[in-house]
Amino acid sequence: MKSYWWKILGAFIVLYSVIAGFLLPVPELPILHETIRNTYFHIPMWFAMILLYLVSVVYSIKYLSSGNMRHDLLAVESVNVGIIFCAFGLITGMLWANVTWGEPWPNDPKLNGSAIATLMYLAYLVLRNALDEEQKRAKISAIYNIFAFPVMVVLLFILPRLTDSLHPGNGGNPAFSNLDMDGLMRAVFYPAIIGWMLIGIWIMTLRYRYRLLERDEDTLI
């Protein structure tokens, strides 16, 4: 039971954030109106994605230092699940942008950066599938993955702050503050981030265990 407590916690927090996110009152703000509820869903998707990409980098480094194929499997499955959360982040963001900004994909540096970062990680998966020899595939993709993560950070968090951006907290546009997000929203928003992160790690471990069952574990050294 001890090994499952964090999974149960993650499921409970996500359930709480979904119910509270739809039912609890939110500040009445111009332009945003009820769409501010998307804060509980859109932003946690990106946090979960970044955590999974970070886990992937850690295991890529571990693979290069140990040669253990289990580390390579953990790295690729972290990216696989991270891509799923990325897709949900893009979809919820496009729906939100269509209402608040008038179109699903305006010419915004953070949106464009997220598109480039997504293509970059999809290229990582394509690269893996293009190489047949297992050790060669693992080494080359691990090196690619290690360099991809800091580039993704630059695209999502640094470049948008250097120019005008529609996103809160970027390009002189103030982030959510007490004027936008009250204490009640914070009581849902922060747990939602933690809950979706835990769910993301849970899904990754399930995929990793499934991959182990597909092959002879004794060869994964």
Which residue has tokens 């004794």?
218
Q: What tokens appear for 74 in the block?
A: 């953990």
Half-sphere CA count of 46, side-chain side, radius 13 A: 21
- pLDDT > 80? residue 167: no
Contact between 193 and 44 (Cβ < 8 Å): yes
- Could you report the per-residue pLDDT of 111-132, keeping only the tens digit for each? 899 999 999 999 999 999 898 8
- Could you report the per-residue pLDDT of 63-106, keeping only the tens digit for each? 999 989 999 999 999 999 999 999 999 999 999 888 888 888 88
Crossing angle of helices 134-153 and 69-100, in 10° steps, is 40
Span 194-212, average pLDDT: 94
Which residues contact residue 156 at a Cβ distance below 8 angstroms, ignoring those fewer than 6 apart? 46, 110, 113, 114, 117
First and final CA of the chain: distance in angstroms?
29
Rounded (10°) CA dihedral 93, 94, 99, 104: 150
Q: Domain-by-domain residue ranges, the chain?
A: 10-22+35-219
- Could you report the per-residue pLDDT of 17-73, keeping only the tens digit for each? 999 989 988 887 777 778 889 899 999 999 999 999 999 999 999 999 998 999 999
pTM above 0.85, yes or no: yes
Alpha helix segments (H runs only) across 101-173: 109-130, 134-153
